[in-house]
Amino acid sequence: MADGAPEHSYSTGSLTRGTFSQLDQLRLFESKYDPVTRAVIESLDVRPTWRCLELGAGAGSMSYWLAGQVPEGGVLAVDIDDSRLDADQAPQLTVRQADITATEFEEGGYDLVLARAVLEHLKDPDELLTRAARWLAPGGWLVVEDFYYLPAEHAATAVGRTLVAGYVRRMREQGADLGWARHLPASLARAGLESVGLRLTPAGPGQTPADDELIGLRLRQEGHALVDAGVVTEDELAEFMGLLGRPEGRDMTTLMVSAWARRPAE
């Protein structure tokens, strides 16, 4: 908590501030989604000599894994905040701090470009996707994964409808485009890429233990903001948290859209 900020006390125990870090959330996110992303990339027949670029590398798990797949190539891990990335993880790994909306990379320089949970947060995701396609070498693959948010009014519980609607509204206010991922396969084709592939991964309460852990942590970090804004009450938040891990609380709130396509070989 910042100096001078007012202290808050909640009886539910589900709104603890400052107990978990953003890095904790990133690592839980990685544990949930890395197996999906790895499976997609493994299906592309990765070569040891590939040059790879990860946009929005986060805490680095995919860049580190990619470095192990390309011992004769290289991986460039890029994020606007590179403090969680460790360039010493592998000799073929390079870390760069950069704003991807304002940075150009080598045209035709990469056999694989990966962007996960990044483009939906940009003002013009299609523009970045088109640029990323240019960074591919002939025959190179672009893999993009982002989230399509299902309608909050269709949530499985009344408290879920309230909380998910509030959470989604807050993300929109922060600039996220929560429907863009639905267009992703078509956007890859419009960018001039071919062999477009698609995989959907459901996420939400009760989908997996990792989902429940990630949702619980996220609400412990961010739930107080929803209460402070009057989106939900303490009791509603506590009720939602209490349903995590219980069959009657199971729901799908989002679909992770994994899409991939390649630049035509010249």
Whether pLDDT at 210 is above 50? yes
- Specify the pLDDT at position 79: 97
By the 8 A CB rule, do 166 and 228 touch?
A: no
pLDDT band at 1 (very low <50, low <70, confident <90, very high): very low
Q: Which of 103, 92, 97 is nearest to 78 (CA)?
A: 97
Phi, psi angles (nearest 5°) of residue 74 = -170, 160
pLDDT band at 52 (very low <50, low <70, confident <90, very high): very high
- Specify the pLDDT at position 20: 55
For 129, the 3-state DSSP assignment is helix
Say which residue, 14 or 222, is predicted with more confidence: 222
pLDDT band at 263 (very low <50, low <70, confident <90, very high): very high
Instruction: Quote the mean pLDDT of the chain.
Output: 90
For 55, the 3-state DSSP assignment is strand
Whether pLDDT at 221 is above 90? no
Whether pLDDT at 5 is above 90? no
Q: Which of 103, 89, 104, 57 is nearest to 76 (CA)?
A: 57
Kindly state the tokens that stand for 73.
């190539």
pLDDT over 90, % of the chain: 77
Helices 158-173 + 209-228 axis angle, to 10? 70
pLDDT band at 203 (very low <50, low <70, confident <90, very high): very high
> How remote is the C-alpha of 60 from its chain's centroid?
12
Q: Which of 94, 100, 174 is nearest to 130 (CA)?
A: 100
What confidence tens digit (pLDDT) does each residue in 159-191 have? Answer: 999 999 988 888 888 888 889 999 999 999 999
- Summarize the confidence of residues 114-135 as an average pLDDT: 95
